[in-house]
Amino acid sequence: MKHNFGAGPGILPHEVLKQSAEAVLDLNGTGLSLLEISHRSPEFEAVLNEAVSLVKELLNVPEGYSVLFLQGGASLQFAMVPYNLLPQDKKAAYLETGVWANKAIKEAKFFGTPVVVATDKENNFKQIPKNYEVPSDAVYFHVTSNNTIYGTQLHEFPKSEVPMVCDMSSDIFSREINVADFGLIYAGAQKNMGPAGATLVIVKNDLLGKAERQIPSMLNYQMHIDNGSMYNTPPVFAIYVSMLTLRWIKAKGGVAAIAKANEAKAKLLYEEIDRNPLFKGVCVPEDRSVMNVCFVMEKPELEKPFLKFAEERGLVGIKGHRSAGGFRASIYNALPISSIQALVEVMQEFAEKNK
């Protein structure tokens, strides 16, 4: 029995994996594999429609927004957002909360002027900056809701007068959000929504068409909206598995129920980190992520032995990101609380042996 704490591509619900494997052999008794059906077939159109409907239902997406399934991950969105929204002579505000925010800023420079409103870079991104001004002439304000590498999270989204753009790659569907607070939300699927290879975009339609530039078709949100995410062959399998994962979230009681379970999981783990004398948390407590729990050891020389100890007990993926060090337990939606209990027990057992 493995406990998968990997940061992403991360754990998916067991029943989703089982159903996905079945569909690879035979989709709904059609006699054909999911991998060899036409994306224009009624079978796949039903899958895509259900995926879009589930996104709208689970996040209460209001009228006036479009839901797209694209390719290229959040990294392609770093460029598509300014390509579509930022005129060359205008500026966009960015909150720099880690490497991913930083990459988004870098790509915006190809299209206009990104302005960093605040950063905690000098502290290696241990906290979310709080007091800053967003220039009122910025065309959008970009934030990263959860910082996978550093284990910080925006628990309250800033109030913004300019449209807010949010990279939610590592916490979408993990908690309730008010979509109307955002102009555009994007997320790579491979943490809470499905496998690598699909990207979710939720965009307010009236933000589009104002960038005053020609946009190549595949990079143009309006083109994808006009074609219902079928401008070209979509990533059929990744969308199918995402649809199954969204069904699973709904069956669990929706995002509110999932959020409650996630809070309980995070609480259990952070309490052990704070209680156990061998370990300590990395981030400022008020900004601690409910998705990625980063911690180090009081005695750094014990980190290698602890990693080995944990791996021998079936804990996978707890090594921290190379730029942050220590440990990171990613505790996405599909991770059961029993896996957190297993980690806590391993921490306690290791502490007992190393008193």
Part in contact with its own copies (CB under 8 A); list of ranges 177-185, 200-208, 249-257, 310-318: 310-318
Helix and strand tally (H, E) in the chain? 9, 14
Applying CB under 8 A, which of residues 159, 214, 277, 353 lies at the interface with its own copies? Answer: 214
Which structure tokens are listed for 242? Answer: 């995402």
25 to 30, 45, 97, 264, 316: CA distances (angstroms): 10, 19, 43, 37, 28
Decide: is 1 part of the binding site for its own copies (CB under 8 A). Answer: yes
Which CB atom, from 34 or from 185, has the smaller least distance to its own copies? 34
**Residue 190 annotated as lining a ligand binding site:** yes
By CB under 8 A, what part of segment 114-173 binds its own copies? none
Helix (H, G, I), strand (E, B) or coil at 229: coil
Verify whether residue 100 is a known catalytic residue: yes
Give the end-to-end CA distance of the chain in Å, rounded to a whole number: 28
Verify whether residue 191 is a known catalytic residue: yes
Catalytic option among 90, 191, 248, 265? 191
Part in contact with its own copies (CB under 8 A); list of ranges 31-39, 52-60, 283-291, 347-355: 31-39
Within 146-245, strands assigned E span: 146-147, 152-153, 164-167, 184-188, 199-204
Decide: is 110 part of the binding site for its own copies (CB under 8 A). Answer: yes
Decide: is 237 part of the binding site for its own copies (CB under 8 A). Answer: yes
Verify whether residue 167 is a known catalytic residue: yes
Decide: is 25 part of the binding site for its own copies (CB under 8 A). Answer: yes
H helices present in the chain, as ranges: 14-25, 42-58, 73-85, 99-108, 221-226, 236-251, 254-275, 303-312, 337-353
328 strand-pairing partners: 294
Whole-angstrom distance, CA of residue 152 vs CA of residue 130: 13
Decide: is 228 part of the binding site for its own copies (CB under 8 A). Answer: no
Applying CB under 8 A, which of residues 196, 261, 307, 351 lies at the interface with its own copies? Answer: 196
Whole-angstrom distance, CA of residue 133 vs CA of residue 313: 48
Applying CB under 8 A, which of residues 119, 144, 160, 190 lies at the interface with its own copies? Answer: 190
- Residues contributing to the annotated binding site for L-glutamate: 40
Residues tagged in the binding site annotation: 40, 74-75, 100, 148, 167, 190, 232-233
Q: Which residues bind its own copies (CB under 8 A)?
A: 1-2, 4, 6-12, 17-18, 20-22, 24-25, 30-33, 35-39, 71-76, 78-79, 83, 103, 106-107, 110, 188, 190, 194-197, 214-219, 231-238, 241, 314, 316-317
